[in-house]
Amino acid sequence: MKRALLTLIAALYLCSALADNREIRVALLADLHITPQNNNDKMMPALVDEINNEHFDLVITAGDLTNRGSFAELKCAHNHLRRIKHRQITTHGNHETTWSESGGRDFKRLWGHNGCTTAKVGEYTFVAFPAGPYIKMADGTVQDSERLAWIESELSRGDKRGRVVAVCHYPLNGDITNRTEVTSLMKRYNVTASLCGHYHKPRLMNFDSLPGIIGRSLMLPKGKEHSYGYTVLTFVGDSIHISEKLIGKPAEHRYSIHQCNDSTINALKADPLPEKNHLGGFNAECIITDNAEIYTAAQRVGNILYYGNSAGEIKAYNVDSKQIIWSRKFNDPIYSTPVITNNAIVVATLSQGIVALKLDSGKTLWRNRDGNTFIGNGTFDNGYLYIGTLGSMFKIDCTTGKTIWKNSFGSGHPQAKPTVADGKLIFGAWDCHLYCIDCQSGRELWRWSNGSKNVLYSPGHSIARVAEDRVMIVAPDRYTTCLELSTGREIWRVKARKVRESTGLSSDGNIFYAKTMDGEMIAVPMNTDIYTELWCTDVGWGYDHSFCPLLCHNGVIYMANRRGKVAAVSEDGELLAVGKFANSAANDLRIDTSGNMWISFIEGIVWRLDTLNNSRQQNVNKKRE
């Protein structure tokens, strides 16, 4: 009996050892960047056929399936991937979330989930999750406490069953605002590696001692030609073997790593820890820490602060009692900053139209369902709301909720706040155009094109700055452009600095301010017939692609970056102060009637900052001396 028991134990041990050494093959696809009829789209049938003709235990698609997340692109990618016969998991990347026409809903409709998905293969559990950024150009982030709780739940289940592999389009490094929170979570469980895309070229990385494996993109430049392929991972024993597989050619081995304490990974330098917060010459106080992310401005009326969050909530927070006095829940995240009128807060939603709520109670006053999928900001002027959705601009009576007119202008989303000037509405859209519409009739007066066919260079998230008969904009194509308001005629257009989307205007309308991608602020006269810089001030934070508009108040211009910093520059170009208040991008800078500045950051926090006046500037200057 004893011998039989020992034989059984030995057999079980042998089975366990064999299971541990079972070879698991995974095809890792990333950065497909499919647009119907582009080269990547045309290569996908060959890729799918090749994968179907080989043995794989799992096929992973790690984000950036498309170029701009349109339904046509997503549907095209989905049609290709559903032909794969092997088991699959798919998550999305920044190209699906930053420029999504549907606010992320189309991906969920096609794949049946929001990017969070798992697969169990042998002793391995693969846990996939997205990291944004969502709708606005910013660093990645693993969204809100609910998503982190889901990830931890799946990691804990996998940890009990065997080894766990994380899958996320973004590398888990400094490109993610809450990266230390995520990697700490991974290290608490049996996560042996993190599979990513985003960087296009295959490589190994150190994610705070967690092995990072970057899969190649579908297309990579190779001299004057292009190569098309994917990454093959073989899990066997304690090792992961990584190969690059070009379509139609044998796989080429690139790396092998141990899943525990690999010397190759440990020798790689991890990104430095995020810089700690500091006031940097500002008087400031953190007012709100929400349990979800915030993508709207925070606006104070009286003693109440209003904002929306990624959980779909509009909240009214009493800054004196430090309590939420009311909250309204909608189906989807709120990306559009609500507009505040005399007695209402007007909320544009992704799937429930535009809703006006009473300021004091949050009760519904009216609802307008003429438009859908609002991701951009609106403008309140003379009792009317001007706000756009995909291919359309609306004028809505904020007393009754009635649509006054709808202009079907084109095909892109107008994301930035429209500008009202001289009876005209000026706005850009993600279709390479800037539009000018008559406010009274809704009739198009002119449209201007930047000449590019790449919609990602559009002025879709750029606020038009207007003074007298001049319109000035910047856009992701890095150009600063000056137009004639009355006709749309191009006065000048230059690529002198790496501008992108963040601009401001002096109180008197004479000076145009813009932030560059090199962490500089420039000042340009509005009335010049040629591009002229009055000054350029480097605030010292380096590369930046944040969308947050600049704010001018009492002769001081404020700007914010993608990693929670705020800089103040005097109207003559002197750097006055730089503080760090968060790890994520600021949404907007707003001044209340008392002169306080309110700043919301994507990670879900709101700060109050004292603005700098002349005496404050003098004190700061003395400290600097």
Residue 606 pairs with which residues in a beta bridge?
Answer: 288, 600
Per the structure block, which two tokens stand in for 500? Answer: 């992108």
Number of helices (H), then strands (E), belonging to the chain: the values are: 9, 45
| Whole-number pLDDT of residue 10 | 37
> Rounded distance, CA 586 to CA 503, Å?
14
Give the amino acid at 618. Answer: Q
Q: Taking the C-alpha atoms of 456, 460, 466 and 471 in order, what is their torsion angle to the nearest 10 degrees?
A: 40
Q: Which helix (H) or strand (E) holds 75?
A: helix 71-81
> Rounded distance, CA 182 to CA 173, Å?
10
Per the structure block, which two tokens stand in for 503? Answer: 């601009």
Q: Are 198 and 163 in contact (CB under 8 A)?
A: no
> Rounded distance, CA 488 to CA 233, Å?
54
Residue with tokens 């892109």: 412
CA 165 from centre of chain:
24
| Whole-number pLDDT of residue 223 | 76
Residue with tokens 């820490």: 289
Q: Taking the C-alpha atoms of 488, 494, 499 and 502 in order, what is their torsion angle to the nearest 10 degrees?
A: -20
Positions in the chain whose pLDDT score sits under 70: 1-21, 161, 614-625
Q: Tell me: cis bond preceding 133? Omega within 30 of 0 counts.
A: yes
Give the amino acid at 603. Answer: E
User: Given 3-state DSSP classes, what are the helix, strand and coil percentages for the chain, each rounded to the nearest 5?
Assistant: 15, 40, 45
Residues 6+ apart with CB under 8 A from 244: 202, 216, 229, 231, 232, 251, 252, 254
Q: Are 486 and 456 in contact (CB under 8 A)?
A: no
Give the amino acid at 429. Answer: A
Residues 6+ apart with CB under 8 A from 295: 134, 135, 136, 308, 309, 310, 333, 334, 335, 587, 602
Cα-based distances in Å from 258 to 62, 119, 155, 235, 318:
22, 22, 20, 10, 53
Q: What is the pLDDT of residues 392-432, one digit of tens each?
A: 999 999 999 999 999 999 889 999 999 999 999 999 999 99
Q: What is the pLDDT of residues 181-218, one digit of tens each?
A: 999 999 999 899 999 999 999 999 999 999 999 999 99
> Rounded distance, CA 343 to CA 594, Å?
20
Over the range 63-74, which residues count as b (16 or more CB within 10 Å of their CB) and which as e?
bbbbbbbbbebb
> Rounded distance, CA 571 to CA 511, Å?
9
Per the structure block, which two tokens stand in for 547? Answer: 């969308």
Residues 6+ apart with CB under 8 A from 354: 346, 347, 348, 367, 368, 369, 371, 374, 385, 387, 396, 401
